[in-house]
């Protein structure tokens, strides 16, 4: 398995109030598999993805990616494992505004001390952005920005691609090619997990996991 999440719990406390965002979620994703995480608003999708990415720590349970533990590790260890193993794609995008599209991909590579302009150019080409390598993020269309964000997430050939509502701001017409590119990553050794309200994500996924009140139903 590329992703192993075992009995993951996450509570949020504020004063007297406690929200049980995740109540014992387990999820295994195999290489080459795409899993859609669906569920009503507030069911825990974003919390789960943040935990899987090591951006948040669960209050209980274990998360491993490619056999390496992501949960409950010192921050530098988590950051290094995330940079090496996980591509994270979020709705708000992961592009730095004062860097061009190509420089954004280069920066992601530099985080793991990698420099591979050929791979970068190849990925930009696959994303249909060969002609936009020198563009500033603010000049990209919605679809181009989503594809550039995907190029950044894929900069280090991640074992696991995590996407939280990656096409939330796109219309149906622009959404499909982006989702198909995400789907194409679930080939070979890469596993893909996408949290989304979109029916199109469900259609493309190999498997759908439904969350309700922090539990898999
Ligand atoms: N930082 C936080 N502090 C307190 N409660 C939180 C926090 N983040 C999320 N929650 C609560 O945890 C629960 C799960 O939220 P989460 O954002 O994971 O759901 P979601 O399924 O992604 O929702 P949506 O589809 O609306 O994005 C909700 O009840 C939410 O209010």
User: Over the stretch 95-150, which tens digit does the pLDDT of each residue have?
Assistant: 999 999 999 999 999 988 888 899 899 999 999 999 999 999 999 999 999 999 99
Edge-to-edge strands, sheet with 191-195: 86-90, 160-164, 191-195, 34-38, 207-212, 215-216
Q: What's this model's pTM, rounded to 2 decimal places?
A: 0.94
**pLDDT of the residue at 172:** 84
Tokens coding 84 = 């090496």
Residue nearest to atom 18 of ligand 1 (CA): 44
Ligand 1 pocket mutation, candidates 21, 36, 166, 196, criterion most atoms within 8 A of CB: 21
44 CB within 6 A, ligand 1 = yes
Name the average pLDDT for the chain. 93
The atom number, within ligand 1, closest to the CA of 48 reads 18
**pLDDT of the residue at 187:** 78
138 CB within 6 A, ligand 1 = no
Give percent of the chain with pLDDT exceeding 70: 99
Task: Give tens-digit pLDDT for 194-211.
Answer: 999 888 999 999 999 999
Give percent of the chain with pLDDT exceeding 90: 81
Tokens coding 114 = 């990698």
The atom number, within ligand 1, closest to the CA of 22 reads 14
pLDDT at 11 over 80: yes
CA dihedral 76, 81, 83, 86 (to 10 degrees): -140
pLDDT at 193 over 80: yes
**pLDDT of the residue at 38:** 96
Q: Average pLDDT for residues 52-63, to the nearest whole number?
A: 96
19 CB within 6 A, ligand 1 = yes
Q: Average pLDDT for residues 159-183, to the nearest whole number?
A: 90
Structural domain boundaries in the chain: 3-216
**pLDDT of the residue at 170:** 85
CA 26 – ligand 1 centroid, Å: 18
92 CB within 6 A, ligand 1 = no
Element spanning 194, H or E: strand 191-195
Hey, what CATH topology would domain 3-216 get?
Rossmann fold (3.40.50)
Among 27-36, 66-75, 161-170, name the one with the lowest average pLDDT.
161-170
């Amino acid at each position: 398995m590329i992703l192993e999440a075992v009995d993951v719990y996450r509570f949020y406390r504020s004063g007297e109030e406690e929200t049980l965002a995740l109540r014992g979620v387990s999820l295994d994703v195999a290489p080459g598999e795409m899993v859609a995480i669906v569920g009503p608003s507030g069911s825990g999708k974003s919390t789960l993805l943040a935990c899987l990415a090591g951006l948040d720590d669960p209050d209980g349970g274990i998360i491993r990616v490619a056999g390496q533990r992501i949960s409950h590790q010192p921050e530098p260890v988590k950051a290094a494992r995330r940079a090496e193993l996980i591509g994270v794609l979020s709705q708000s995008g992961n592009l730095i505004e004062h860097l061009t599209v190509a420089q954004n991909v280069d920066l992601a590579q530099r985080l793991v001390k990698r420099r591979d302009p050929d791979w970068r150019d190849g990925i930009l080409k696959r994303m249909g952005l060969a002609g936009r390598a020198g563009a500033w993020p603010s000049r990209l269309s919605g679809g181009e920005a989503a594809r550039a964000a995907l190029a950044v997430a894929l900069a280090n050939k991640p074992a696991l691609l995590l996407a939280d509502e990656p096409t939330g701001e796109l219309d149906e017409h622009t959404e499909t090619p982006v989702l198909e590119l995400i789907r194409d990553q679930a080939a070979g050794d890469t596993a893909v997990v996408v949290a989304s309200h979109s029916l199109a994500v469900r259609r493309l996924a190999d498997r759908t996991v439904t969350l309700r009140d922090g539990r898999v139903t």
